[in-house]
Amino acid sequence: MLDFLSRPWPWYVAGPIIGLFVPVLLLIGNRLFGVSSNLRHACAAIYPRDVAFFRYDWKAAGLWNLVFALGIVVGGFVGGVLLANPEPVAIAAETRAELAALGISDFTGLVPRELFGWSALLTPQGLVSILVGGFLVGFGTAYAGGCTSGHAVSGLANLELPSLLAVIGFFVGGLLATFVVLPLILGG
């Protein structure tokens, strides 16, 4: 059991469990599965100023979700620290070769230390990937009104055309970043 909990899970285990969050949250209390709303709730709670987008009852709309997000942090600790997979992420050999050509050499963790470790924060590459990347995640999900959970899972499950547009957008943006922006940043 402990072995199963520390090993990475195949897609056919992780995917269906994630899908179940949609009906479970709906049936528990009519809540819509979607994580990026928490960024908005946090802004509404911390610094709404006179911005209409943040002037609403965030406790009624989002307290449940903020607590859910806090749970995600703890779940990340349990899965990524307490029951961490000791092996490197088993990515395809081609991916590994292409990333190595871009200058990534440390494949041991969940994420490359060159880009996301403490020392990376002092390099321009690290700063762009982390701070600018994070900024784009926040701006883009707020603009699109959802992220991978809200649009790609909840929205597509409900056969929403807006969510399909958003998901297509996710992949267009991701391809652009992968094949145009990253090579520029990493100078590979």
Partner 1 sequence: MAANLETTAAATAGAVGGKGAQPVAAPGGVRRARGRELLVYFALGVLFGFVLVKGELVSWFRIQEMFRLQSFHMFGVLMSAVLVAGVSVALIKRFGVKTLDGEPVVIPSKVLGKGVRYVVGGVIFGLGWALTGACPGALFALVGSGVAGMLLAVVGALAGTWLYGYLRPRLPH
Structure-token match 């145009």, residue found: 180
Please state the closest distance from residue 1 (CB atom) to partner 1, in A. 13
Give the residue with the Cβ less far from partner 1, 103 or 134: 134
User: How many helices (H) and strands (E) would you count in the chain?
Assistant: 11, 0
Q: Which residues of 111-149 are buried (b: 16+ CB within 10 A; e: fewer)?
A: ebebbeeeebeeeebbebbeeebeeeebeebbebbbbbb
* Least distance from partner 1 to the Cβ atom of residue 2, Å: 13
Do the beta carbons of residue 39 and residue 147 sit within 8 Å?
A: no
* Least spacing, CB of residue 141 vs partner 1, in Å: 5
CA distances in angstroms from 69 to 38, 62, 76, 119, listed in the order given: 7, 10, 10, 27
CB closer to partner 1, 11 vs 86: 11
Taking the complex as a whole, how short is the minimal distance between the CB of residue 120 and partner 1, in angstroms? 6
The Cα 115–Cα 134 span in angstroms is: 13
In contact, 129 and 185? CB cutoff 8 Å: yes
Residue pair 45/34 in contact by the 8 Å Cβ criterion: no
CB of 184 to partner 1, least distance (A): 11
Q: CA-CA distance, 131 to 126, in Å (whole number)?
A: 8
Q: How far is the CB of 45 from partner 1 (least distance, A)?
A: 11
